[in-house]
Amino acid sequence: MPDLFKFLKKKEKSSSFEGTAPKHVAFILDGNGRWAQKRLLPRKAGHKAGAETLEKILTACRESGVRTATVYAFSTENWKRTDDEVAALISLLDVYLDTILKRHEAENTRVRFLGDNSPFPDEIRAKIKHVEDVTKEHFYNLNVCLNYGGRAEICHAVNILSEKGVKEAAEKDISAELYTAPTGDPDIIIRTGGEHRLSNFLLWQASYAELFFTDTLWPDFTKEELFDIFAKFSKTNRRYGGYDDKTENKGGITSGVTE
């Protein structure tokens, strides 16, 4: 096959995938620091490149029919990083909030920030609230997990139930008090950067999620790789512990979903 023809065929294949996209995809954006180190750049350059990749991947998600994306932007453990790196991440968040305000109509995306944002500066918290308010009528969902930890989220939910006087909580009661309650559990969780663990991300919600791990560092993650994962997901048979003779996955899980 002539090279040009091969190239065009590859391009054609990579711009979509066969099957149904998941409804809700969650991402652990790992590998920004190593991406920068490989280029002899400061770690914050890796986070900046990571933020650019995030925008491209979120666009690809919307275009392929994913309604909800949840991203792990800043964990409860990330405060242990140097002051310089934490400041760089907060400043990227600030820029990202402005970008959302400029583009939210075109992107038709409702943005929610999940986690305890009380340690962030007041101006950032005010912007977060503003972004959540102005985007609340949009169709797609973006959950940005910020100062988020899965165990802390479960404790938070249990404490709310206890304040409400619930003595014997059912699973659905806990799901209803998680930060993710409005958008439910993810169908798949993708972790870049080569590690095979959840690192305290969506611990409750991951129960039936398909987990995908790739060695690709987050800034290098492409929509072609995303679509390869969606194609694999589409072929999985999710039985949720029961028996189902369907061979094709239709996407979507309803636990906790209220919309």
Applying CB under 6 A, the residues found at the interface with ligand FPP are 29-34, 47, 50-51, 54, 73, 78, 92-93, 96, 144, 193
Which is closer to ligand FPP, CB of 52 or CB of 171? 52
C-alpha closest to that of 253 among 243, 240, 242, 236: 240
- Residue from 30, 141, 143, 147 carrying the catalytic annotation: 30
Find out whether 249 and 234 touch, Cβ atoms under 8 Å. yes
Catalytic residue at 30? yes
Q: What is the identity of the amino acid at 147?
A: N
Length of the chain: 259
Angle made by CA atoms 43, 49, 55, in degrees to the nearest 5: 140
Find out whether 169 and 158 touch, Cβ atoms under 8 Å. yes
Q: In which region does residue 29 sit, left (phi positive, over 0), alpha (psi from -120 to 50) or beta (all else)?
A: beta
Please state the closest distance from residue 186 (CB atom) to ligand FPP, in A: 17
- When CB distances to ligand FPP are compared, the closest residue is 33
d(CA 111, CA 134) in angstroms, rounded, equals: 9
Which is closer to ligand FPP, CB of 29 or CB of 45? 29
Which is closer to ligand FPP, CB of 150 or CB of 193? 193
d(CA 109, CA 68) in angstroms, rounded, equals: 9
Catalytic residue at 143? no
Q: Which residue is associated with the tokens 């958008």?
A: 183
Q: Which helix (H) or strand (E) holds 114?
A: strand 109-114
Burial class (CB in 10 A: 0-12, 13-18, 19+), 105: exposed
Please state the closest distance from residue 219 (CB atom) to ligand FPP, in A: 8
- Catalytic positions are 30, 78
